[in-house]
Structures are given as structure tokens and as C-alpha cells.
Structure 1
């Protein structure tokens, strides 16, 4: 089950507000993280599509996570129980994205 992040209404929340809310929500969900890694194969628009379709993130949140992957080389896209994060990692693999799981706090 994906992390339930707040949905953005266009023009009502800033990117900073969404970042903080997403981080607070994600941190409360568990000790394991799904990390998506940058790769030279997938288009940025495809990564946004995957994050929106699988996790149900708003366009703004998905684009922010994609830019983090692009600029920093990785982004934590979900947190939760080990079982849920393993499912998320497998889902990212099925979409052709490079992903791993790690304990929260090891990033």
C-alpha cells in the first residue's frame, strides 16, 4: 500500500508546503524506505508517470521527487513496514526503475 500523501489543489499549496507535509507523513509510516535511483535510461516524464500512477502522488509531489532523483541521484519515495516497502521496490522494478529498500535514517 503506497504512502498516502496530501493531494495538491493547483495554486493552493506551495512546493515547500508539500515537501514538509510529505516528509512528515512519510516519516510516521515506518522504519523502512523505498529509494528510487537515477539512471540514464528512463525519461523524467516517465518517472513522474510511475510515481503518480503507482503511489497516487499529485503531479507537484511526483515532479519534486523526480527532480530529487535527477539532481541528487536518489529519492525516498515511500516509507513503511518492510513488507510494504519490498512490495513498492518490486513495483518500481516492474516499471523499469532502479529501486532499493533501506532502513529509515540511513539516507
Structure 2
């Protein structure tokens, strides 16, 4: 009696797994320089947020020290972070590991 080892084939990544692997977050960090009204203005101009959404993210930055303002592919995340830096906001990228 002979036994053969099971044959395993590499698993192909599904679209959802690929999207997850390419998912990034743009996180705005609190700073002691910018006025709250200015941060709301920047969020509205850069992301097209309405007043309530921009204010909610601004308050999250102010009270918690950070807010995730955008999720998506890395290239677009880098572009948003760059734009926020040009507006003198502190922004970082993080892998989106929670989706």
C-alpha cells in the first residue's frame, strides 16, 4: 500500500483580497497650529465633504488626535496626503487592515 502526499495548488487571489491588499487610509493628525475652521475648510475643498461631515472629522482630529478621512488605493491616498500637506495639515498613510 502506497500513499501519496496531497497535492496543493497555489490559491489565486480573489478580487476582494486584491482590493483589500491595495487598501490604504489617509489619516489626519492633530496639530497645535491650524484653526478648527481652517481644517473644516480644507476637508470641504479637498474631499468635497459637506459642512457636517467636515466638522465631524475635524472634531475627531481635535478630540482623538486623528481621523481617517479617506480609504482606497495607495496612489490616490498618496495624492490626498500630498494635497493635505500642501494645505499645511499633518497627514499619514496607513494600510487599511480593518476592512
What is the RMSD of the two structures over their aligned residues, measured on CA atoms? Answer: 1.5
Choose which of 20, 29, 34 in structure 2 pairs with 1:42: 34
TM-score (norm 1): 0.70
Counterpart of 1:70 in 2: which secondary structure? Answer: helix
Paired positions, count: 78
Compare CA radii of gyration and give the structure with the larger one.
Answer: 2
Residues 1-107 of structure 1: pairs in structure 2 closer than 5 A: 31-105=23-97
Q: Shift of the alpha carbon at 1:31?
A: 1.3
Q: Shift of the alpha carbon at 1:46?
A: 0.3
Structure 1: runs of 5 or more not aligned: 1-27
In the TM superposition, what whole-angstrom CA distance separates every residue of 1:11-62 from its partner, at most 9, and x where no partner exists? xxxxxxxxxxxxxxxxx9x610000000000000000000001100000000
Structure 2: runs of 5 or more not aligned: 1-19
Deviating 4+ runs (over 4 angstroms): none
